[in-house]
Amino acid sequence: MERRKFLVTATCGSASAAALAARGGGLAIPDSKSKRASPTLLERVQRAMLAMQRASWEQGVAAQALLELGETEWVILLAKEALVRQDAEGRLAMLYTGNAVTDPGANGEAVLQAGRRTGDPAFQKAAERLLDYLLRLAPRTAEGILHHITDVPQVWADSMYMAPPFLAVAGHIDEAMRQVEGLRKLLWNPSKHLFSHIWDDGSKTFKRQDCWGVGSGWCAAGMTRILRALPPARAEERRKLGGYVQEVLDGCLAHQRADGLFHDVVDDPATFVETNLAQMLSYSIYRGVKGGWLAPAYRAKADAMRRSIHAKVDRYGLVQGVCGSPDFGHAGTATEGQAFFLLMEAAHRDL
Protein backbone atom coordinates (compact mmCIF):
# COMPACT_ATOMS: atom_id res chain seq x y z
CA MET A 1 0.00 0.00 0.00
CA GLU A 2 1.33 3.42 -0.94
CA ARG A 3 2.18 5.70 1.92
CA ARG A 4 0.77 9.18 1.83
CA LYS A 5 2.75 12.10 3.17
CA PHE A 6 1.09 15.17 4.52
CA LEU A 7 2.62 18.44 5.68
CA VAL A 8 0.42 20.27 8.16
CA THR A 9 1.32 23.67 9.55
CA ALA A 10 -0.91 25.07 12.29
CA THR A 11 -0.66 27.98 14.68
CA CYS A 12 -3.09 28.79 17.41
CA GLY A 13 -2.97 31.76 19.79
CA SER A 14 -4.08 31.47 23.38
CA ALA A 15 -7.44 33.13 22.69
CA SER A 16 -8.41 30.70 19.92
CA ALA A 17 -7.20 27.74 22.00
CA ALA A 18 -9.46 28.80 24.85
CA ALA A 19 -12.39 29.07 22.47
CA LEU A 20 -11.73 25.58 21.10
CA ALA A 21 -11.62 24.16 24.61
CA ALA A 22 -14.94 25.77 25.45
CA ARG A 23 -16.60 24.44 22.29
CA GLY A 24 -15.13 20.96 22.82
CA GLY A 25 -17.06 20.22 26.00
CA GLY A 26 -13.99 20.61 28.20
CA LEU A 27 -12.05 17.87 26.43
CA ALA A 28 -9.09 19.97 25.27
CA ILE A 29 -5.78 18.97 26.85
CA PRO A 30 -4.91 21.68 29.39
CA ASP A 31 -1.41 23.13 29.30
CA SER A 32 0.64 24.02 32.37
CA LYS A 33 -0.70 27.60 32.39
CA SER A 34 -4.37 26.59 32.27
CA LYS A 35 -6.54 27.47 35.23
CA ARG A 36 -9.07 24.82 34.21
CA ALA A 37 -9.91 22.15 36.79
CA SER A 38 -8.37 18.72 36.27
CA PRO A 39 -10.38 16.58 33.85
CA THR A 40 -12.78 14.08 35.35
CA LEU A 41 -12.25 10.33 35.02
CA LEU A 42 -14.88 10.19 32.28
CA GLU A 43 -13.20 13.02 30.37
CA ARG A 44 -9.80 11.36 30.62
CA VAL A 45 -11.12 8.06 29.27
CA GLN A 46 -12.96 9.82 26.44
CA ARG A 47 -9.93 11.92 25.53
CA ALA A 48 -7.70 8.84 25.43
CA MET A 49 -10.20 7.04 23.20
CA LEU A 50 -10.32 9.88 20.70
CA ALA A 51 -6.52 9.90 20.52
CA MET A 52 -6.41 6.30 19.31
CA GLN A 53 -6.14 5.09 15.72
CA ARG A 54 -9.31 3.24 14.81
CA ALA A 55 -10.37 0.44 12.47
CA SER A 56 -13.96 0.14 11.23
CA TRP A 57 -15.50 -1.49 14.30
CA GLU A 58 -13.45 0.70 16.63
CA GLN A 59 -14.79 3.84 14.96
CA GLY A 60 -18.28 2.41 15.38
CA VAL A 61 -18.06 1.43 19.04
CA ALA A 62 -16.44 4.80 19.85
CA ALA A 63 -19.28 6.62 18.11
CA GLN A 64 -21.86 4.46 19.88
CA ALA A 65 -20.33 5.27 23.26
CA LEU A 66 -20.49 8.99 22.56
CA LEU A 67 -24.06 8.60 21.27
CA GLU A 68 -25.21 6.97 24.49
CA LEU A 69 -23.40 9.62 26.53
CA GLY A 70 -25.29 12.33 24.62
CA GLU A 71 -22.16 13.83 23.03
CA THR A 72 -23.98 14.81 19.84
CA GLU A 73 -21.28 16.93 18.21
CA TRP A 74 -18.67 14.22 18.68
CA VAL A 75 -21.08 11.65 17.20
CA ILE A 76 -21.58 13.80 14.12
CA LEU A 77 -17.83 14.21 13.67
CA LEU A 78 -17.13 10.48 13.95
CA ALA A 79 -20.05 9.73 11.63
CA LYS A 80 -18.69 12.18 9.07
CA GLU A 81 -15.33 10.40 9.12
CA ALA A 82 -17.08 7.04 8.69
CA LEU A 83 -18.70 8.49 5.55
CA VAL A 84 -15.35 9.69 4.23
CA ARG A 85 -14.15 6.09 4.34
CA GLN A 86 -17.27 4.40 2.95
CA ASP A 87 -16.24 2.03 0.16
CA ALA A 88 -17.93 1.28 -3.17
CA GLU A 89 -19.93 -1.58 -1.64
CA GLY A 90 -21.36 0.61 1.12
CA ARG A 91 -19.19 -0.50 4.05
CA LEU A 92 -18.49 2.38 6.45
CA ALA A 93 -15.21 3.46 8.08
CA MET A 94 -13.11 1.09 5.99
CA LEU A 95 -9.67 1.70 7.44
CA TYR A 96 -7.16 -1.12 8.11
CA THR A 97 -9.77 -3.89 7.74
CA GLY A 98 -10.46 -4.36 4.04
CA ASN A 99 -11.86 -7.85 4.59
CA ALA A 100 -14.47 -6.75 7.15
CA VAL A 101 -18.11 -7.78 6.58
CA THR A 102 -20.02 -7.04 9.78
CA ASP A 103 -17.56 -4.67 11.53
CA PRO A 104 -18.60 -1.60 9.47
CA GLY A 105 -22.14 -2.11 10.75
CA ALA A 106 -21.03 -0.88 14.17
CA ASN A 107 -21.11 2.64 12.68
CA GLY A 108 -24.68 2.37 11.45
CA GLU A 109 -26.67 3.70 14.39
CA ALA A 110 -24.40 6.71 14.87
CA VAL A 111 -24.67 7.56 11.18
CA LEU A 112 -28.47 7.29 11.31
CA GLN A 113 -28.61 9.51 14.38
CA ALA A 114 -26.24 12.05 12.83
CA GLY A 115 -28.61 12.30 9.89
CA ARG A 116 -31.60 12.86 12.15
CA ARG A 117 -29.79 15.52 14.18
CA THR A 118 -28.37 17.45 11.22
CA GLY A 119 -30.88 16.86 8.44
CA ASP A 120 -27.97 16.14 6.11
CA PRO A 121 -29.17 13.58 3.53
CA ALA A 122 -25.62 12.27 3.07
CA PHE A 123 -25.93 10.39 6.35
CA GLN A 124 -29.23 8.75 5.35
CA LYS A 125 -27.80 7.78 1.97
CA ALA A 126 -24.73 6.26 3.62
CA ALA A 127 -26.90 4.26 6.05
CA GLU A 128 -29.01 2.96 3.17
CA ARG A 129 -25.92 1.84 1.29
CA LEU A 130 -24.67 0.02 4.38
CA LEU A 131 -28.06 -1.65 4.77
CA ASP A 132 -27.99 -2.73 1.15
CA TYR A 133 -24.59 -4.30 1.71
CA LEU A 134 -25.66 -6.19 4.84
CA LEU A 135 -29.01 -7.30 3.43
CA ARG A 136 -28.05 -8.11 -0.14
CA LEU A 137 -24.32 -8.12 -0.93
CA ALA A 138 -22.50 -9.44 2.15
CA PRO A 139 -21.28 -13.06 2.09
CA ARG A 140 -23.24 -15.41 4.33
CA THR A 141 -23.91 -19.04 5.13
CA ALA A 142 -26.51 -21.10 3.28
CA GLU A 143 -28.88 -20.26 6.16
CA GLY A 144 -28.29 -16.53 5.64
CA ILE A 145 -26.02 -15.83 8.62
CA LEU A 146 -23.44 -13.14 7.87
CA HIS A 147 -19.80 -14.06 7.60
CA HIS A 148 -17.49 -11.91 9.68
CA ILE A 149 -14.80 -11.51 7.00
CA THR A 150 -14.71 -11.79 3.22
CA ASP A 151 -11.76 -14.12 2.61
CA VAL A 152 -12.92 -17.17 4.57
CA PRO A 153 -16.48 -18.38 5.38
CA GLN A 154 -16.30 -17.78 9.12
CA VAL A 155 -18.93 -16.72 11.64
CA TRP A 156 -17.62 -14.84 14.71
CA ALA A 157 -19.23 -13.98 18.03
CA ASP A 158 -18.12 -10.37 17.46
CA SER A 159 -20.74 -10.03 14.73
CA MET A 160 -23.58 -10.14 17.28
CA TYR A 161 -22.67 -6.57 18.23
CA MET A 162 -21.60 -5.28 14.83
CA ALA A 163 -24.58 -5.87 12.55
CA PRO A 164 -27.86 -6.96 14.25
CA PRO A 165 -28.26 -3.84 16.43
CA PHE A 166 -28.00 -1.59 13.38
CA LEU A 167 -30.47 -3.77 11.49
CA ALA A 168 -32.93 -3.45 14.39
CA VAL A 169 -32.50 0.32 14.74
CA ALA A 170 -33.02 0.68 10.98
CA GLY A 171 -36.34 -1.18 11.23
CA HIS A 172 -35.23 -4.62 10.01
CA ILE A 173 -36.12 -6.40 13.25
CA ASP A 174 -36.94 -9.76 11.69
CA GLU A 175 -33.53 -9.85 10.00
CA ALA A 176 -31.82 -8.79 13.23
CA MET A 177 -33.52 -11.65 15.06
CA ARG A 178 -32.60 -14.10 12.30
CA GLN A 179 -28.95 -13.15 12.73
CA VAL A 180 -29.19 -13.56 16.53
CA GLU A 181 -30.74 -17.01 16.23
CA GLY A 182 -28.23 -18.10 13.60
CA LEU A 183 -25.25 -16.92 15.61
CA ARG A 184 -26.57 -18.70 18.68
CA LYS A 185 -27.12 -21.91 16.73
CA LEU A 186 -23.51 -21.96 15.55
CA LEU A 187 -21.65 -20.52 18.54
CA TRP A 188 -23.66 -21.02 21.74
CA ASN A 189 -22.30 -23.67 24.13
CA PRO A 190 -25.40 -24.76 26.09
CA SER A 191 -23.46 -26.70 28.72
CA LYS A 192 -21.20 -23.73 29.57
CA HIS A 193 -23.71 -20.93 28.90
CA LEU A 194 -20.99 -19.15 26.95
CA PHE A 195 -20.29 -18.39 23.29
CA SER A 196 -17.47 -20.05 21.40
CA HIS A 197 -15.57 -17.58 19.27
CA ILE A 198 -15.26 -18.65 15.61
CA TRP A 199 -17.14 -21.18 13.46
CA ASP A 200 -15.71 -22.12 10.07
CA ASP A 201 -18.65 -22.78 7.80
CA GLY A 202 -16.46 -24.21 5.05
CA SER A 203 -15.10 -27.07 7.12
CA LYS A 204 -18.16 -27.19 9.43
CA THR A 205 -15.86 -27.11 12.45
CA PHE A 206 -14.77 -24.52 14.98
CA LYS A 207 -11.81 -22.38 14.03
CA ARG A 208 -11.69 -21.27 17.65
CA GLN A 209 -13.94 -23.12 20.07
CA ASP A 210 -12.57 -21.32 23.12
CA CYS A 211 -15.11 -19.26 25.05
CA TRP A 212 -13.32 -15.95 24.60
CA GLY A 213 -14.62 -13.56 27.23
CA VAL A 214 -14.91 -10.50 25.02
CA GLY A 215 -16.74 -12.65 22.45
CA SER A 216 -19.46 -13.40 24.98
CA GLY A 217 -19.34 -9.71 25.93
CA TRP A 218 -19.95 -8.64 22.32
CA CYS A 219 -22.96 -10.98 22.30
CA ALA A 220 -24.41 -9.71 25.58
CA ALA A 221 -23.98 -6.06 24.61
CA GLY A 222 -25.24 -6.61 21.07
CA MET A 223 -28.43 -8.31 22.20
CA THR A 224 -28.88 -5.59 24.82
CA ARG A 225 -28.78 -2.94 22.10
CA ILE A 226 -31.33 -4.85 20.03
CA LEU A 227 -33.62 -5.01 23.05
CA ARG A 228 -33.43 -1.23 23.40
CA ALA A 229 -34.43 -0.85 19.75
CA LEU A 230 -37.50 -3.10 19.91
CA PRO A 231 -40.92 -1.41 19.85
CA PRO A 232 -43.40 -2.38 22.61
CA ALA A 233 -45.37 -4.56 20.19
CA ARG A 234 -42.44 -7.00 19.87
CA ALA A 235 -43.06 -8.55 23.29
CA GLU A 236 -42.06 -12.07 22.26
CA GLU A 237 -38.71 -10.91 20.93
CA ARG A 238 -38.13 -8.91 24.13
CA ARG A 239 -38.84 -11.98 26.26
CA LYS A 240 -36.56 -14.18 24.16
CA LEU A 241 -33.65 -11.75 23.99
CA GLY A 242 -33.89 -10.95 27.69
CA GLY A 243 -33.55 -14.66 28.41
CA TYR A 244 -30.59 -14.98 26.06
CA VAL A 245 -28.74 -12.09 27.74
CA GLN A 246 -29.43 -13.47 31.21
CA GLU A 247 -28.06 -16.87 30.17
CA VAL A 248 -24.75 -15.47 29.00
CA LEU A 249 -24.51 -13.19 32.05
CA ASP A 250 -24.96 -16.19 34.32
CA GLY A 251 -22.45 -18.21 32.30
CA CYS A 252 -19.80 -15.52 32.67
CA LEU A 253 -20.53 -14.69 36.30
CA ALA A 254 -20.00 -18.34 37.24
CA HIS A 255 -16.31 -17.76 36.43
CA GLN A 256 -15.88 -14.31 37.97
CA ARG A 257 -12.69 -13.79 39.96
CA ALA A 258 -12.58 -12.40 43.49
CA ASP A 259 -11.37 -9.06 42.08
CA GLY A 260 -14.53 -8.78 39.96
CA LEU A 261 -12.74 -9.44 36.65
CA PHE A 262 -12.48 -12.46 34.34
CA HIS A 263 -9.89 -14.46 32.47
CA ASP A 264 -9.45 -13.85 28.74
CA VAL A 265 -10.89 -17.29 28.01
CA VAL A 266 -13.62 -17.22 30.62
CA ASP A 267 -13.33 -20.81 31.79
CA ASP A 268 -9.54 -21.09 31.48
CA PRO A 269 -7.69 -19.62 34.49
CA ALA A 270 -4.36 -20.10 32.68
CA THR A 271 -5.21 -17.18 30.38
CA PHE A 272 -4.53 -13.57 31.34
CA VAL A 273 -6.84 -11.48 33.52
CA GLU A 274 -8.89 -9.16 31.29
CA THR A 275 -10.86 -5.97 31.98
CA ASN A 276 -13.22 -5.38 29.07
CA LEU A 277 -15.62 -8.29 29.62
CA ALA A 278 -16.53 -6.84 33.02
CA GLN A 279 -17.31 -3.49 31.35
CA MET A 280 -19.45 -5.17 28.70
CA LEU A 281 -21.40 -7.17 31.28
CA SER A 282 -21.87 -4.15 33.54
CA TYR A 283 -23.23 -2.18 30.58
CA SER A 284 -25.65 -5.00 29.76
CA ILE A 285 -26.77 -5.34 33.37
CA TYR A 286 -27.42 -1.62 33.88
CA ARG A 287 -29.39 -1.43 30.63
CA GLY A 288 -31.29 -4.60 31.51
CA VAL A 289 -32.29 -3.44 34.98
CA LYS A 290 -33.29 -0.04 33.59
CA GLY A 291 -35.29 -1.73 30.82
CA GLY A 292 -37.11 -4.02 33.23
CA TRP A 293 -36.03 -7.24 31.54
CA LEU A 294 -33.34 -8.13 34.08
CA ALA A 295 -33.81 -8.63 37.81
CA PRO A 296 -32.61 -5.71 39.99
CA ALA A 297 -30.44 -8.13 41.99
CA TYR A 298 -27.94 -8.17 39.13
CA ARG A 299 -27.10 -4.53 39.80
CA ALA A 300 -24.89 -5.40 42.77
CA LYS A 301 -22.74 -7.56 40.46
CA ALA A 302 -22.37 -4.70 38.00
CA ASP A 303 -21.53 -2.21 40.75
CA ALA A 304 -18.75 -4.47 42.06
CA MET A 305 -17.30 -4.86 38.57
CA ARG A 306 -17.50 -1.13 37.97
CA ARG A 307 -15.49 -0.41 41.13
CA SER A 308 -12.76 -2.79 40.00
CA ILE A 309 -12.72 -1.26 36.53
CA HIS A 310 -12.34 2.29 37.84
CA ALA A 311 -9.15 1.15 39.55
CA LYS A 312 -7.78 0.03 36.15
CA VAL A 313 -7.79 3.55 34.64
CA ASP A 314 -4.36 5.17 34.61
CA ARG A 315 -3.45 8.87 34.89
CA TYR A 316 -3.88 9.37 31.13
CA GLY A 317 -7.36 7.85 31.05
CA LEU A 318 -6.26 4.56 29.49
CA VAL A 319 -8.26 1.56 30.68
CA GLN A 320 -5.55 -0.99 31.39
CA GLY A 321 -5.79 -4.76 31.09
CA VAL A 322 -8.32 -5.02 28.26
CA CYS A 323 -7.66 -7.29 25.27
CA GLY A 324 -4.94 -5.16 23.76
CA SER A 325 -4.56 -3.77 20.26
CA PRO A 326 -3.44 -4.66 17.70
CA ASP A 327 -3.69 -8.44 18.10
CA PHE A 328 -6.08 -8.68 21.10
CA GLY A 329 -4.13 -11.64 22.41
CA HIS A 330 -2.61 -9.89 25.41
CA ALA A 331 -3.58 -7.51 28.21
CA GLY A 332 -3.17 -3.94 27.02
CA THR A 333 -5.24 -0.99 25.79
CA ALA A 334 -7.71 -0.65 22.93
CA THR A 335 -10.37 1.67 21.57
CA GLU A 336 -13.11 -0.81 22.44
CA GLY A 337 -11.84 -0.92 26.02
CA GLN A 338 -12.15 2.85 26.25
CA ALA A 339 -15.55 2.84 24.56
CA PHE A 340 -17.05 0.22 26.83
CA PHE A 341 -15.94 2.15 29.89
CA LEU A 342 -17.95 5.07 28.51
CA LEU A 343 -20.90 2.82 27.60
CA MET A 344 -20.86 1.36 31.11
CA GLU A 345 -20.84 4.85 32.60
CA ALA A 346 -23.68 6.03 30.33
CA ALA A 347 -25.79 3.05 31.35
CA HIS A 348 -24.97 3.55 35.04
CA ARG A 349 -25.90 7.24 34.80
CA ASP A 350 -29.20 6.46 33.10
CA LEU A 351 -30.10 3.90 35.75
Predicted pLDDT at 55:
93
List Cα–Cα distances, 345 to 242, 285, 288, 306, 319, in angstroms: 21, 12, 14, 9, 13
The CATH number of whichever domain residue 333 belongs to comes to: 1.50.10.10
For residues 301-315, average pLDDT: 97
Full-model pTM: 0.89
Q: In terms of Cα–Cα distance, which of 337, 196, 343 is closest to 267?
A: 196
Give residue-wise pLDDT tens across range 43-65.
999 999 999 999 999 999 999 99
Predicted pLDDT at 37:
74
Predicted pLDDT at 51:
97
**127, 111 in Cβ contact below 8 A?**
yes
> Could you give the strand order of the β-sheet that contains 198-200, starting from the edge strand earlier in sequence?
154-156, 198-200, 205-208
Give residue-wise pLDDT tens across range 91-118.
999 987 789 999 999 999 999 999 999 9
Has residue 128 been placed in a domain? yes
List Cα–Cα distances, 328 to 144, 305, 323, in angstroms: 28, 21, 5
Predicted pLDDT at 33:
45
Question: Using N-to-C axis directions, what is the helix angle for 276-291 and 335-350, rounded to 10°?
Answer: 30
Has residue 4 been placed in a domain? no
Predicted pLDDT at 38:
84
Its domain, for residue 337, covers 41-350
* Domain count of the fold of the chain: 1
Beta strands in the chain (DSSP E): 154-156, 188-189, 194-195, 198-200, 205-208, 262-263, 273-274, 322-323, 331-332
pLDDT at 212 over 80: yes
Has residue 179 been placed in a domain? yes
Has residue 137 been placed in a domain? yes
* Average of per-residue pLDDT values in the chain: 91
Q: How far, in whole angstroms, is CA 125 from its chain's centroid?
A: 23
Give residue-wise pLDDT tens across range 188-197.
999 999 999 9
CA distance 77 to 67: 11
Has residue 93 been placed in a domain? yes
Has residue 100 been placed in a domain? yes
Q: Is the peptide bond before 326 cis (omega within 30 degrees of 0)?
A: yes
In this structure, what DSSP letter does residue 90 have?
S
Range name among 29-33, 270-274, 325-329, 336-340 with the lowest pLDDT average: 29-33
Has residue 278 been placed in a domain? yes
List, in sequence order, every residue forming a beta bridge with 331; answer none if it has no partner.
323
CA distance 292 to 315: 36
Classify 200 as helix, strand or coil: strand
Has residue 36 been placed in a domain? no
